[in-house]
Amino acid sequence: MRLKKRKLQSFTRFRLMLTLGLAVLLPAAALIYVNFSQLRAFERDKVLEAAIHRDFQEMLAITEKKINKKAYAMTEEARDLFPSPDTEAQEKEKNLDLILSKSPWLSHVFLFDERKYLVTDDSNELYKLAQIIRGPR
Protein backbone atom coordinates (compact mmCIF):
# COMPACT_ATOMS: atom_id res chain seq x y z
CA MET A 1 0.00 0.00 0.00
CA ARG A 2 2.78 2.37 0.93
CA LEU A 3 4.65 1.66 -2.30
CA LYS A 4 1.50 2.23 -4.36
CA LYS A 5 0.84 5.55 -2.61
CA ARG A 6 4.42 6.67 -3.16
CA LYS A 7 4.26 5.70 -6.81
CA LEU A 8 1.02 7.63 -7.18
CA GLN A 9 2.57 10.77 -5.62
CA SER A 10 5.57 10.67 -7.93
CA PHE A 11 3.25 10.21 -10.94
CA THR A 12 1.17 13.18 -9.76
CA ARG A 13 4.32 15.27 -9.41
CA PHE A 14 5.41 14.23 -12.92
CA ARG A 15 2.01 15.18 -14.34
CA LEU A 16 2.17 18.54 -12.59
CA MET A 17 5.62 19.28 -14.01
CA LEU A 18 4.52 18.20 -17.47
CA THR A 19 1.42 20.40 -17.29
CA LEU A 20 3.48 23.34 -16.08
CA GLY A 21 5.97 22.80 -18.86
CA LEU A 22 3.29 22.69 -21.50
CA ALA A 23 1.19 25.51 -20.04
CA VAL A 24 4.00 28.00 -19.34
CA LEU A 25 7.15 27.13 -21.22
CA LEU A 26 5.63 26.19 -24.57
CA PRO A 27 3.75 29.53 -25.04
CA ALA A 28 6.78 31.45 -23.81
CA ALA A 29 9.03 29.67 -26.30
CA ALA A 30 6.51 30.30 -29.07
CA LEU A 31 6.41 34.03 -28.21
CA ILE A 32 10.18 34.26 -28.23
CA TYR A 33 10.33 32.54 -31.62
CA VAL A 34 7.62 34.78 -33.12
CA ASN A 35 9.27 37.95 -31.78
CA PHE A 36 12.65 36.89 -33.09
CA SER A 37 11.32 36.07 -36.54
CA GLN A 38 9.39 39.36 -36.64
CA LEU A 39 12.52 41.26 -35.65
CA ARG A 40 14.48 39.60 -38.45
CA ALA A 41 11.72 40.56 -40.90
CA PHE A 42 11.96 44.19 -39.72
CA GLU A 43 15.73 44.17 -40.21
CA ARG A 44 15.30 43.05 -43.79
CA ASP A 45 12.69 45.66 -44.57
CA LYS A 46 14.82 48.60 -45.73
CA VAL A 47 11.77 50.72 -46.60
CA LEU A 48 10.56 50.62 -42.99
CA GLU A 49 14.04 51.41 -41.70
CA ALA A 50 14.32 54.38 -44.08
CA ALA A 51 10.90 55.68 -42.97
CA ILE A 52 11.87 55.49 -39.30
CA HIS A 53 15.17 57.24 -40.02
CA ARG A 54 13.43 59.99 -42.02
CA ASP A 55 10.88 60.58 -39.23
CA PHE A 56 13.66 60.72 -36.66
CA GLN A 57 15.62 63.27 -38.71
CA GLU A 58 12.46 65.32 -39.18
CA MET A 59 11.79 65.37 -35.42
CA LEU A 60 15.42 66.39 -34.80
CA ALA A 61 15.07 69.29 -37.24
CA ILE A 62 11.80 70.44 -35.65
CA THR A 63 13.30 70.25 -32.16
CA GLU A 64 16.40 72.13 -33.27
CA LYS A 65 14.25 74.91 -34.71
CA LYS A 66 12.28 75.18 -31.46
CA ILE A 67 15.47 75.33 -29.38
CA ASN A 68 16.97 77.98 -31.67
CA LYS A 69 13.80 80.05 -31.53
CA LYS A 70 13.78 79.91 -27.73
CA ALA A 71 17.49 80.81 -27.53
CA TYR A 72 17.00 83.79 -29.84
CA ALA A 73 13.99 84.97 -27.80
CA MET A 74 15.96 84.72 -24.55
CA THR A 75 18.88 86.61 -26.12
CA GLU A 76 16.62 89.36 -27.45
CA GLU A 77 14.95 89.70 -24.06
CA ALA A 78 18.32 90.16 -22.34
CA ARG A 79 19.59 92.46 -25.10
CA ASP A 80 16.63 94.81 -24.65
CA LEU A 81 17.56 95.27 -20.99
CA PHE A 82 21.12 96.51 -21.68
CA PRO A 83 21.81 100.14 -20.75
CA SER A 84 22.56 102.87 -23.24
CA PRO A 85 26.24 103.79 -23.71
CA ASP A 86 25.39 107.38 -22.74
CA THR A 87 24.36 106.56 -19.17
CA GLU A 88 26.63 106.95 -16.14
CA ALA A 89 28.86 104.15 -14.83
CA GLN A 90 26.82 103.52 -11.63
CA GLU A 91 23.63 103.36 -13.67
CA LYS A 92 25.24 100.92 -16.09
CA GLU A 93 26.33 98.64 -13.25
CA LYS A 94 22.87 98.84 -11.72
CA ASN A 95 21.29 97.90 -15.07
CA LEU A 96 23.74 95.01 -15.54
CA ASP A 97 22.82 93.68 -12.09
CA LEU A 98 19.18 94.04 -13.04
CA ILE A 99 19.81 91.99 -16.20
CA LEU A 100 21.36 89.22 -14.13
CA SER A 101 18.46 89.19 -11.71
CA LYS A 102 15.85 89.09 -14.49
CA SER A 103 17.72 86.53 -16.61
CA PRO A 104 18.64 83.54 -14.46
CA TRP A 105 20.19 81.68 -17.42
CA LEU A 106 22.98 84.28 -17.62
CA SER A 107 25.98 84.04 -15.34
CA HIS A 108 28.06 87.00 -16.62
CA VAL A 109 27.21 90.26 -18.37
CA PHE A 110 29.76 92.33 -20.29
CA LEU A 111 29.42 95.90 -21.52
CA PHE A 112 32.21 97.34 -23.68
CA ASP A 113 32.81 101.07 -23.98
CA GLU A 114 35.45 102.84 -26.00
CA ARG A 115 37.33 103.61 -22.77
CA LYS A 116 36.76 100.53 -20.62
CA TYR A 117 34.47 97.60 -20.18
CA LEU A 118 32.25 96.58 -17.31
CA VAL A 119 31.97 93.00 -16.15
CA THR A 120 29.25 91.85 -13.81
CA ASP A 121 29.03 88.30 -12.59
CA ASP A 122 26.40 86.54 -10.57
CA SER A 123 27.58 85.29 -7.19
CA ASN A 124 24.54 83.02 -6.80
CA GLU A 125 24.85 81.36 -10.20
CA LEU A 126 24.78 77.79 -8.83
CA TYR A 127 21.64 78.57 -6.87
CA LYS A 128 20.00 80.12 -9.93
CA LEU A 129 21.04 77.17 -12.10
CA ALA A 130 19.41 74.81 -9.62
CA GLN A 131 16.25 76.96 -9.75
CA ILE A 132 16.23 76.79 -13.56
CA ILE A 133 16.63 73.02 -13.57
CA ARG A 134 14.02 72.48 -10.85
CA GLY A 135 11.60 74.98 -12.31
CA PRO A 136 9.28 77.41 -10.54
CA ARG A 137 7.57 76.20 -7.41
CB 109 within 8 Å of CB 98: no
Decide if 113 is inside a domain: no
Q: How far apart are CA 116 and CA 4, in angstroms?
A: 106
For residue 118, what are the β-bridge partners? 111
Is the C-alpha dihedral spanning 21, 26, 31, 33 positive or negative?
A: positive
Whether 31 maps to a domain, the answer reads yes
pLDDT tens, 40-81?
777 667 787 888 899 999 999 999 999 999 999 988 988 888
Can you give the pLDDT at residue 109? 79
Classify residue 60: in a domain, yes or no: no
Residue 33 pLDDT greater than 90, yes or no: yes
Spatial separation of the C-alpha atoms in residues 119 and 52, rounded to whole Å: 48
Note whether residue 7 is domain-resident: yes
Range of the domain at 7: 1-44
User: What pLDDT, in 10s, does the model give residues 81-117?
Assistant: 888 878 887 888 888 888 888 887 887 777 776 666 5
Number of domains in the chain: 1
> Is residue 32 in some structural domain?
yes
pTM higher than the cut 0.75: no
Burial 102-115 (b: 16+ CB within 10 A, else e): ebeebeebebeeee
Whether residue 94 is contained in a domain is answered as no
